[in-house]
Amino acid sequence: MADDTEPEGFRCPIHKSLINPILIAGIPRDVCLVLWTVGAAMGFGMQEMWVVPFFIVTHIGLALLTSKDPYFATVYLNALKAPRRLDP
């Protein structure tokens, strides 16, 4: 039979907000919180204001990476946690 219809009950609508990563200002939430916590600690706590432009440029770079692949941070963090070699 060349019937291309889907069987009833095998389709379920899923909202995109459930599968998309949560972003803050264009980068993943956990990456943004770590980036700006470190930036605020270094910029204001240690009174090293020259690092603030560095963190702004880093944020823009991460936002560009996120625009190309929204899961880059998840994949990168999983790669860091992966074992370095395979055991036989």
* pLDDT tens readout for residues 5-19: 777 777 788 888 888
pLDDT in tens, 48-71: 889 999 999 999 999 999 999 988
Closest listed residue to residue 52, CA positions, set 68, 41, 67: 41
Element (H, E) at 58: helix 51-68
The position carrying tokens 């990563």 is 21
- pLDDT band (50, 70, 90) for residue 21: confident
Q: How does residue 2 score in pLDDT terms, banded at 50, 70 and 90?
A: low
pLDDT exceeds 90 at position 23: no
pTM of the full predicted structure?
0.72
Secondary structure in 3-state letters for 4-57: CCCCCCCCCCCCHHHHCCCEECCEEHHHHHHHHHHHHHHHHHCCCCCHHHHHHH
